[in-house]
Amino acid sequence: MINLRDKGASVWENWSPPARSSFVLIVITLVALLPYAGDFGPTSFLNTPISSYQAVLVYPIALFVLMGLGLNIVVGKSGLLDLGYVAFFAIGAYTMGIMGTMTSLNTWEILPFGIFFAMLAGLLLGLPALRLRGDYLAIVTLGFGEIVRIIALNLEVTGGPNGVVGVPTPPPILGQKFELDDHKAYFWVILIMILLVIWMVRRFTVRRPGRAWEAIRQDEDVAALMGVNLLIYKLWSFTIGAAVGGAGGVIYASKTMFIAPDMFTFNTSILVLACIVFGGLGNIWGVILGASILAYLPERIRFISNARQLVFGLVLLIIMNVRPDGLLPRKKREKILQKAVK
């Protein structure tokens, strides 16, 4: 089978720097124009029946891409199976909900707090949990995700099952207003965040943390022997992933203006994980592709309303059987390494 990832990489490597930057600019512009694609003739097939196309573009698609990229740092880059990623999203959303309704701070001022609290939670969870191995880490993170939801369900400050109502929308930036029925602005904000995360992940990958994560993912014992401080680098991976989730949560709360505990169930964690495994674990472009498809598909096939989750499950199952490493698997370099070992 053709490996799209390697094909793409080889084409990319043969391009000159100006060609590369103009290509990137064109792609970013095209993506930024996506909210208009639903009205534009040739691309109107993208339009989602029943739910508003522009709303779908923000949530789930853009936010799932963002969360997928964040979770990819944890699961894809450093191989730590996190089944409770939605907890960080929830913490970001509740930070926005509570601080937004109780203080006079606006969304952009709360954003750092949301990121901070998510990172703090990541640190508090990570310190005990990251000493555990693979599947035990999975169940502990899963439990953490449930605990955050249950706490939100039972505390008064979070509004219990009713959640937080009337979360303020962000103030305008550069004259662009954020209104309830205008989803374009949110899409662009999240797009900028996605680009920042991509840039961050790419920088990390080629530097010391990235190499440490790669080593940890391939073999923890060998990494420790080579002098990688396991706990520190796992914690970094965990908290950075948490920060991305928290940032997504803040924007989400600010956009929907209403949050409740049942928005942050285990299913969301699983769906985000499915996105990145489906797209190609550890590969940014695969994650983006996977998250876009899996978030978009249920909305596109909404006309078969009752069976759409069933079709979703079947598609996921078939694709996993055909391409178990995801649509765009990791680089070939690693495969060559694996062959050499065998």
Partner 1 sequence: MNLQVLESQFWSLCLQGLALGFIYVLISLGYTMVYGVLRLINFANSEVFMVGTFATVVAQVGILQNQTDAQPLNGFRLIYTLTFALVFSMLICGFLGILVELVAYRRLRALGAKPLGFLISAIATSIVLLETTRILTFSRPQTSPRLLDKWSFGEFAGANFRIDTVMVIISGIVIFFTLDRFVTKTRLGKAIRAVSMSEEISKLMGINLNRVVSLTFFIGGLTTGAAAFFYTTVYETTQFNVGFNLGLAAFTTAVLGGIGNLRGAFYGGLFLGVLEQFASAILGSQWKSVTVFTVLVLVLLLKPNGIFGEAVQQTRT
Helix axes 134-154, 107-129, angle to 10 degrees: 130
- Contact stretch for partner 1 (CB under 8 A) within 25-33, 100-108, 113-121, 149-157: 149-157
Q: Does position 138 bind partner 1 by CB under 8 A? A: yes
Q: Does position 154 bind partner 1 by CB under 8 A? A: yes
Q: Which run of H or E residues covers position 214?
A: helix 208-218
Using CB under 8 A, pick the residue from 104, 321, 339, 341 that binds partner 1.
321
Q: Does position 339 bind partner 1 by CB under 8 A? A: no
- Contact stretch for partner 1 (CB under 8 A) within 48-56, 124-132, 218-226, 245-253: 124-132
Q: Does position 153 bind partner 1 by CB under 8 A? A: yes
Q: Does position 257 bind partner 1 by CB under 8 A? A: no
Q: Does position 144 bind partner 1 by CB under 8 A? A: yes
Q: Does position 306 bind partner 1 by CB under 8 A? A: yes
Q: Does position 15 bind partner 1 by CB under 8 A? A: no
Question: What whole-number distance in Å separates Cα of residue 313 and Cα of residue 304?
Answer: 14
Least distance from C-beta 175 to partner 1, angstroms?
A: 43
Least distance from C-beta 124 to partner 1, angstroms?
A: 11
- CB nearer to partner 1: pick between 226 and 317: 317
Q: Are 73 and 144 in contact (CB under 8 A)?
A: no
Q: Does position 139 bind partner 1 by CB under 8 A? A: yes
Q: Is 173 helix (H, G, I), strand (E, B) or coil?
A: strand
Per CB under 8 A, contacts with partner 1 among 188-207 are none
- Quickly tell me which residue has 């793409």 as its tokens: 8
CB under 8 Å, gap of 24 or more: what pairs does 126-135 form? 126/234, 126/235, 126/238, 126/239, 127/235, 130/80, 130/231, 130/234, 130/235, 130/238, 131/231, 133/220, 134/81, 135/81
Q: Does position 155 bind partner 1 by CB under 8 A? A: no
CB under 8 Å, gap of 24 or more: what pairs does 310-315 form? none
Helix axes 4-13, 284-300, angle to 10 degrees: 130
For partner 1, how many residues bind (rule: CB under 8 A)?
Answer: 43
Question: What whole-number distance in Å separates Cα of residue 53 and Cα of residue 302?
Answer: 12
Q: Does position 289 bind partner 1 by CB under 8 A? A: no
Task: Give burial (CB, 10 Å; 0-12/13-18/19+) of 271.
Answer: buried
Q: Does position 135 bind partner 1 by CB under 8 A? A: yes
- What is the distance in angstroms between the CA of the first residue and the CA of the last residue of the chain? 21
Least distance from C-beta 200 to partner 1, angstroms?
A: 23
Question: What whole-number distance in Å separates Cα of residue 154 and Cα of residue 139?
Answer: 22
Least distance from C-beta 315 to partner 1, angstroms?
A: 8
Q: Does position 317 bind partner 1 by CB under 8 A? A: yes
Residues contributing to the site for partner 1 (CB under 8 A): 75, 81, 128-129, 131-136, 138-140, 142-144, 146-147, 150-151, 153-154, 266, 270, 273-274, 277-278, 281, 306-307, 309-310, 312-314, 316-317, 320-321, 324-326
